[in-house]
Structure 1
Amino acid sequence: MRIDEAIAAWTAHLADVRRLSPATVRAYGSDLVDLAATVAPAVTDVADIDLEHLREWAWRATQSGAARATVARRTAAARAFFAWALENGLVETDPSLRLIAPKRARTLPAVASAASMREVLDAAAARAADGDPLALRDHAVLELLYGAAVRVSELCGLDDGDVDLGRRTARVRGKGSKDRVVPFGGPAATALDAYLRVGRPALLAGMADTKRRGAGGAADGTARRPQSDDAGRTPGPALFLGARGGRLSTRTVYDLVSRVVGGAVGSSATGPHALRHSAATHLLDGGADLRSVQEMLGHASLGTTQIYTHVSSERLVSTYKLAHPRA
């Protein structure tokens, strides 16, 4: 089978059978397309790719300055692809079995202090106090990102029926299309309640008004093009809405968090995922057990969650050196 045909069949398998996230499917597909470009035009059939081709491909990535994590992901993509190809009879042997992946660098995530987060959220609450719809939305977004430790894609994917204010829980769809229920606290519930009562209806009304104006046509008699939402998707039952009433985009959330968290005193964490890192670390600092944090974050492996124990340990050592007389 031609390499491009095999890649298309494999990525369809990842999406439809293994139900991996669209981002993961795109990344793995892009990796294999790059492999096909590396071996072309000499090799066009997937059965003709051997270990030396794979090593050359990985070496070129390293020489071009790709991070170790990128090369490791490419190796994982090649292994998954050829395991599938072997299972489906496209190759007689798996050339990726002896392909060695570089060890990923173990870096600690950027974490904001509890005091910095309190400052950020108090400031967001103050901005929302006058009832501005976007300020109410932004306050609820920040409270939920930190209070429920959700991913930005999970937050933007929430529908209005996914949040239970009475129980203070949200049903989110994580990686691999796996659903989980996460709790959030009183401040997040208060912010969400204000947004749902005042902010969201106002944003929906603004969208309806924009549609009415657009339907009226321009001054020259030509029809105006309807305004699209922030994420380019149908508004539907989305919980968080953009300024024009459509589903809130992840880019808008990135801009929001970078703007308001970047100015926090003592905080080096400026992206939405840093709020998730911060929430996990503060949970462990407060005495939460690792399994509970793993379940809340939706990690498939406990090893992924254990990185936050290292962050807590680093903080403990720092405190010890400052406070203990024999340090």
Structure 2
Amino acid sequence: MNKIDQIGRMDADALIAGFVEQKESPHTQRAYLRDLQAFFGRPEISVDLAAGVDATDVDAFVKRGESSGLSKATLQRRLSALRQFFDWLSIKGVVESNPARDGRVRTPMPRRSTSASASGPISREETERIVASIDTTSATGRRDRAILMLILHCALRRSEVVRVRVDDFRLVGRYRVLDIRPPDRRSNAVPGDNRPEATGSGLSETLSGRAKVPDHVYRHVEAVRMDVGIRSGMLFRSYSNRNRGASLTGDAIYRIVRDAGEAADLEDVTPDRLRKTGLQLALDSGATGDQVRAHGRYAATVPYAARQEERLRDSAADYVQIGTGRSSASGLGGKL
């Protein structure tokens, strides 16, 4: 019996797609698809090509990754993808043994440390890569990209992201703003009530601030709202079969950001690091220190009164410019 007969009804020319489809997480699907395509150098492979892989091929792949400076987390994920892929092929009878589990394959070594802090801001190019790594053809992808865009442009902490409601977005004059709710606020008020009007003289005690939402960022928010199909309530919800409709937790936000970083071959990408990155990009692109401090809510600012629209006209959020399809002009800025 030849190998094509052994795999039965599985498409012999779509092995990678057949394997990836078995994974439940969209993030894992996208990451493993990239990893396998990076190894084989093509989007799909034949049975004969898969059967011809040996341990030296896998070891050379890991070595090339180390030489190119990939993080240990990325190298480990790539090796895991290969091991699981060949395990799957072994069960299907396509290969007799798993070359990725051979003792001759090296253990991925961490790359040498660089001058950049693992908790400091990320470069503009790397940030664009993180955002672009998310596939927005699915509702999950559209949700995840909206989360990243809000963290970057509105300087949201993950505890604030989970509290974003559909009706927290409003117009102030010509500009869209997000009412930001503080974390762990114990109150008898119903969420969404007791909020000041856009022209009010101060912030309600149920809010910790407001942030301008650039038009290109709000388009991502609108896409999520359309997917959820509601006009009020929590914006970011689970789409999994187990928790469908439940609000995302802080841990879920952390994983979404971390997975997007790993998909872009970057390690140690966290919501807090992404928040700092947005503020740094604004500073580097010409925003003033006062604008950035106010946008990041590092200190108390004057109430949103008569000068509110004037401040929104020139906000730090406008200087971030990630996901616009164009690069922001570089400026001289200090470090946060």
Could you say which TM-score interval applies, normalised by the shorter chain? Answer: 0.3 to 0.5
- TM-score, normalised via structure 2 length: 0.43
More helix by share: 1
Asked which structure has the greater RCO (Cα within 8 Å, sep 6+), the reply is 2
- TM-score, normalised via structure 1 length: 0.44
